[in-house]
Structure 1
């Protein structure tokens, strides 16, 4: 058989060259050697089958024995019967030998034909086995090629699946990144919008506060002006009343022989000290009353060394503060104003033991620690 799958490719020959010989079949030498061995074996069998009974059979030989008399005993024995005659088989006639040779030769011929048929069948079986083996090898090679092709196709499919899987993963990752970027931009826009809204609210609140402060300041200024006008009016009325009372008292004092002596008192105020002297006669404890009234109203957080302010006060008999002014400055305008505000916040002034407040007196104030 010609193995076309393993035969080498034929090279192209020029037209002038002789035609190419067909490729030599594989296994031809083995086939010829096996055929020669089978023919030799068949010849040997034929030779020995013909000659193994070709020799003339040897004749049969027979020996006749008689009993030897015992010479040791004198007693005579009776004579043995005569031996039976031996029949000698005559040789077979020549005609029968020829028939035996013919039968033997026929038998040998049949044996040779049977051996030849057996050898032919064996050769056919061998060739069939060789063909079956070659076909099995071809089928194995085809199966191996099919398996290799299937494995290659499966590997390609697996690779394509892996590529598709990687592509899907990359696409999903890209989508997630885009989504995260969009979410980040949305949060930034939302934060900017919130910041703008907060700035707007702060601006509106600031404007509203400024407007409210302006309104409050305008109202405070108006109230201050109204209060100042009312106070000026009250001061004028109180001054007129005080003048009238003074005139009345002076007239009363002129008719009397005795006079009053002034008294003085000292007191401490919050964040400062005070000393007051009444223009009219007062009880010894009145200065302490003024101290307790003015002390909580002093508010000062500045320097304290060397500051002393004298405030002149005028009151009605009920203690209502008619006026308060700086009669001697400390040289620090802020402290002077703090001392003046403390006296103004102390309105009304305490009354004395007789149920009336002095009409005028002075208070000396110093910061705490001054």
Structure 2
């Protein structure tokens, strides 16, 4: 029979053959009582006397009957028993009764011993079965506890593995997010750089176009000045030279020197403010090799910020370009206007 520990308390096992042992013991007690009863009754009872009735036929006198045969000789009756024979018979009978009683007692003791032995064997068997069942229950409990411990250990390991995997996934997501952020930042930086390069390229193209137009205009002005015999002239938008400059040998600068100074100074002008009505004249002193010795504002535009921007543009243009004679003029002036937007 299989029982669950959680449903039934610990109980001794139900023995097999208990009913049979009880029936056998009851039967032995009944037989023992039967033998005792008949033995005592046999010892106390006295033999009852036998009675007999004799019937004889009435002779029929009308019919003659043959004469009866002579009677057989009667044997002499045995002599009556003497007193010693009665005593011996009684002693013999007493011995027989004692022997029967002893046999009954021995049989009773044998039955009791067998019954006691059967009870002891049944009790020992019951104890063995109980011990075996308790051992089986203990082994089952130990096995269940061990299995539960293994399951808990497996659950802890699975939980630890799940936590580790979750942590790894979170770290991977974090790294992926950082990588995406870096890629986005790189894209933004690249886009900014591309926009800056594009703006610089557009600005360079615009400046080159302006330089080209200014150079053509100045060339025309220089040609007109040469035809007219010199004189002061200024450019329409940007840089002009003064006719008072002189080289190291006391000769004036060539007509194309102003264009060289314009190409050197204009890229260094940094100005994002208003452009209307601003014009600044900067006086420059140079060494024969073009090294800038000094520079100062000789005529302000009225806007100090623009004057500073014009003076810084001249200072960033050091050294100044050389003239056709291989030397830079000793001094000259530069008229600067911001480029129109």
Q: TM-score, normalised by structure 2?
A: 0.44
Q: TM-score, normalised by structure 1?
A: 0.41
When Rg is computed on C-alpha atoms for both structures, the one with the higher figure is 1
